[in-house]
Structure 1
Amino acid sequence: MAADAAAVAQLWQPLELTQPEVYEQVQDDFLLNLSFWANIALAGISILVFLYMGRNLENSKSKLIFVATLMVPLVSISSYTGLASGLTISFLEMPPGHALAGEEVLTMWGRYLTWALSTPMILLALGLLAGTNLTKLFTAITADIAMCVTGLAAALTVSSHGLRWFWYFLSCTFFLVVLYILLVEWPKDAEAAGTAEIFNLLKILTVVMWLGYPIVWGLGAEGLAVLEAVWITSWAYSVLDIVAKYIFAFLLLNWLVSNESIISEFGWSADTGAGAATPADD
């Protein structure tokens, strides 16, 4: 009888899905799978377009901005391939207190991992465009990486519902640091560098889009589960990525190739570090 009871208990115990099984689940959800492959296609097209756009850049700082911008779709195509293949997806049982407590929820943790690689490149390009100093650039990038890593922790923590939200709010705290630099510090640097017009456009686009990510997490299946369908959450993230990455990068590179002389005349030099024209620390 004890053996029978153990066998029954084992039947009810959720089994960890293998990668092929996760892949099959993704393939069976057409809209979820489409949200991945749409971004793979757009990232691939973006890489080719950006390589063509930046082919004639000559200034070292312009080239550094170009490389940082190009890294965004390069990381994205890797990210979405990992999601589409089931490599960076897991099914996690939500803890007590969660709206879906006891249920296994598909968690796309690979997004957070690759955001920690792609979003610093966006900030690097923006910081260089603004002609900021290395202290502000380092602060923005490290706070951004911390934001992504703590967001990953929020997604993967299943031991406590409260700890999930603690990680979430800790991630939002790091995000506030990034927002302060984007909205307060770098606009002054961009004004001095003569790049305020394009910087302010990209700043607004970045801030508005990036605010969408914590909102989607909070409303999605991993948070309050208001948007319970995983494909809805995935498409929300995918649309945000399209605007915050590919459209952002196109606007930046399109301006850069036409205004390379402005970049070469002022600001941080990729060859020598902080140049003589670099704005002083506040």
Structure 2
Amino acid sequence: MVAVNVHYTVGLAVMLLGTAVFVRAFVTDARNRTYHAILVGIAGIAAGAYVFMLLGIGFLTVEGNVVNLAKYGQWLLATPLLILYLGLLAGLDRGRIGLLIVLDVVVMGSGLVGELLAGPALTYGSFAVGSVAYIALIYMLTAGIREAVTDRPGAIVALFGKLRNLTLIIWTIYPVIWILSPAGLGVLEPTMQALLYTYADLIAKILFGAIALNSQTSLEQLPELDALSGFGVGPN
């Protein structure tokens, strides 16, 4: 457990640092505050989850397998914010952003359900449901919204491509870790599983935010977002 906590401590420290950087951007860049608020939420939620993990809160044993509820909780809360950021950047209407978020929640929720259910048939059945939802999510984030994205300024198209590709690459690693974990084939030890999930989290959230902040001048080419008016994007 000590070795696992080392990885959780690194995860917490980097998430807190990222949160502080994103808060600073939120405070100093009023025009793009909605984008920065999303980044704060992503990193802040993840930091809170790592606090729970370090305190040993949110672990449930099912059929000898330890289910990390804090981990799934932060995925269910933070990954929709990643989708929201991408959707706003792409100029999607709220209906399509909502559909993307629903698919994302199905993907994340299926992983949790798969760990909570007893028996390989139910576990892998849940994994299959999540896989189908993930394929649909990949399609929507690529071919499904190509027309909307290409209507954006060139710098925004480039930024969206970087963030979308990073997200899809890292998110594709998560189910591989899951299938190799004790809940799946049992190839990975809990310590290695914690290491892989933690550093994948850091890339998916903190590197995502760092790339976004590094390109924040590109956001000047977009209309200012108003969080009080449904983000001011697209038709209802």
How far did 1:177 drift?
2.0
Aligned equivalents of 2:7, 2:18: Cα separation in 1: 17
In structure 2, the CA distance between the partners of 1:273 and 1:83, relative to structure 1 (3 Å rule), is closer
If the length of structure 1 is used for normalisation, what is the TM-score?
0.77
**Residue 14 of structure 2 corresponds to which residue in structure 1?**
42
Q: Per the alignment, do residues 115 and 54 of structure 1 end up closer, same or farther by CA in structure 2, a change over 3 Å counting?
A: same
SS at match of 1:87: coil
How many residues get paired? 234
Match in the other structure for 1:170 = 129
Residue number among 107, 111, 131 corresponding to 1:147 in the alignment: 107
Partners of 1:154 and 1:168 within 8 A in 2: yes
Runs of 4+ off more than 6 Å: none
Question: Where do residues 1-282 of structure 1 align in structure 2 (5 Å cutoff)?
Answer: 29-59=1-31, 62-93=32-63, 104-158=64-118, 160-194=119-153, 195-227=156-188, 229-256=189-216, 258-264=217-223, 270-273=227-230, 278=234
Alpha-carbon RMSD? 2.0
TM-fit CA distance, 1:274: 7.9
C-alpha distance in structure 2 between counterparts of 1:202 and 1:274, whole Å: 20
SS of the equivalent of 2:183 reads coil
| Secondary structure of 1:223's aligned partner | coil
Q: Unpaired segments of 5 or more residues in structure 2? A: none
Unpaired runs of 5+ residues, structure 1, are: 1-28, 94-103
Q: TM-score, normalised by structure 2?
A: 0.91
Q: Which structure has the larger Rg over C-alpha atoms? A: 1
Identity level (%): 22
Mapped contact 2:60–2:66 kept (Cα < 8 A): yes
Secondary structure of the 1:54 match is helix
Greater share of helix: 2
Tell me the secondary structure at the aligned position of residue 223 of structure 2.
Answer: helix
Alpha-carbon distance in structure 1 between the residues aligned to 2:174 and 2:46: 16
CA distance in 2, matches of 1:198, 1:105: 40
Alpha carbons 1:219, 1:226 under 8 Å: kept: yes
Maintained 8 Å contact 2:27/2:33: no
Residues 127-148 of structure 1, C-alpha deviation per residue, up to 9 Å, x if partnerless? 1011111111010011111221
Q: Helix, strand or coil: the match of 1:225?
A: coil
Cα deviations across residues 180-234 of structure 1 (Å, max 9, x unaligned)?
Answer: 111123343222111110100111100000000111000111101122x101111
